[in-house]
Amino acid sequence: MGKITLKSVSKSFGATSVIPRIDLDIADGEFVVFVGPSGCGKSTLLRLIAGLEDTTEGTILIDGRDVTNEAPARRGLAMVFQSYALYPHMSVYNNIAFPLKMAGEDKSAIDKKVKDAARVLNLTNYLERRPGQLSGGQRQRVAIGRAIVRQPKAFLFDEPLSNLDAALRGTMRLEISELHQQLGTTMVYVTHDQVEAMTMADKIVVLNAGKIEQVGSPLELYRSPSNLFVAGFIGSPRMNFIEGAPAAKHGAKTIGIRPEHLAISASSGEWKGTVGVAEHLGADTFVHVHTNGLGTINVRAPGEIGVEHGQAVWLTPDPSKLHRFGADGRAL
């Protein structure tokens, strides 16, 4: 079991409040992602759950048991960091076995757990190597293996893929998602990358300056962001925001429309503009359109469309995909 509950949890460093006051429920087996810009308090929140930081106020429960004042080692959680923190002089086998040896488990039990973890992580053929003889992705898998053998109630990941190149990040994303499906263990995953959040999470917690802006499934946040911050943070390319008369027409201070929800035409439409840069990606074309009075509006058109710099175009938003926000930034 790995149900985690935060009740009115806050954290200050001296006079600086980093997490004002948070309530959050993480269900057993859930994959929860904390996402938000750098410095918003993601790592602090994860470290509070791990017990690596003391809470200033509030209560943390794991499976209903109050662990607020319990030492990290007694919480039954396993943390995986961005830096792998492997022992360079030990083999992969011994790196994975290390926490079990420290716990005094017997040799045959350790052997089985290490080999099971290695199988799940495709490390069976690398058990005799040293970390220096592995790729970055393999090293990160060893670090995950060391967490798996402890059979934790939950895995806590702090930006585990940030040190990897883009292609490897994509592969590792899939591997961690598959691992979650195999193990069914609760995972709490911190990232500043909204693509990681969208692709991996059952539930996303969007943080901004220590506050929870919204909690929901990836598609709930995509379809119904509850405020301007979430609307601008989730989705790539970013949502376009328009103020003034076109927004007032919809009874809003600001309207938002995603690039993929705009039609582009050379002959007619609602908003007129001129093509600035067109990015031809093959599968999609991203067109940056400079309008008269509405600023630059970005459009994502499927496939290859033949637009040129300087060409006059018309844009039309899909009315069913328009987001409306009031003066306080909240969705209407």
- Closest approach of Mg ion to the CB of residue 40, in Å: 9
Q: Residue 122, CB half-sphere, CA atoms under 13 Å: how many? A: 10
Q: Which helix or strand (DSSP H or E) is residue 169 part of?
A: helix 166-183
> Is residue 194 close enough to count as binding ligand ADP by CB under 6 A?
no
- Closest approach of ligand ADP to the CB of residue 185, in Å: 23
Q: Residue 44 binds which one of ligand ADP, Mg ion, none, with CB within 5 to 8 A depending on kind? A: ligand ADP
The phi and psi torsions of 121 (rounded to 5 degrees) equal -100, 10
DSSP strands (E only) in the chain: 4-13, 16-26, 31-35, 57-62, 65-66, 77-80, 154-158, 186-191, 203-208, 211-216, 240-243, 254-257, 262-265, 271-280, 284-291, 296-302, 312-317, 323-325
> Is residue 43 close enough to count as binding Mg ion by CB under 5 A?
yes
Output the six-digit token pair for 253.
Answer: 């201070």
Residue 122: count other Cβ atoms within 10 Å of its Cβ: 11
- Closest approach of ligand ADP to the CB of residue 84, in Å: 18
> Is residue 13 close enough to count as binding ligand ADP by CB under 6 A?
yes
The phi and psi torsions of 134 (rounded to 5 degrees) equal -120, 160
Q: Which residue carries 């057993």 as its tokens?
A: 28
Within 42-101, which residues bind ligand ADP (CB under 6 A)? 42-44
Q: Residue 186 binds which one of ligand ADP, Mg ion, none, with CB within 5 to 8 A depending on kind? A: none
Q: Which stretch binds Mg ion (CB under 5 A): 43-51, 87-95, 101-109, 176-184?
A: 43-51
User: Which residue of 40, 97, 278, 313 would you call a contact of ligand ADP, by CB under 6 A?
Assistant: 40
Q: Give the residue with the Cβ less far from Mg ion, 43 or 140.
A: 43
User: Which residue of 4, 9, 18, 79 would you call a contact of ligand ADP, by CB under 6 A?
Assistant: 18
Q: What angle do CA 186, 188, 193 make, to 5 degrees?
A: 140
> Is residue 44 close enough to count as binding Mg ion by CB under 5 A?
no
* Binding-residue total with Mg ion (CB under 5 A): 1
User: What residue ranges bind ligand ADP (CB under 6 A)?
Assistant: 13, 16, 18, 36, 38-44
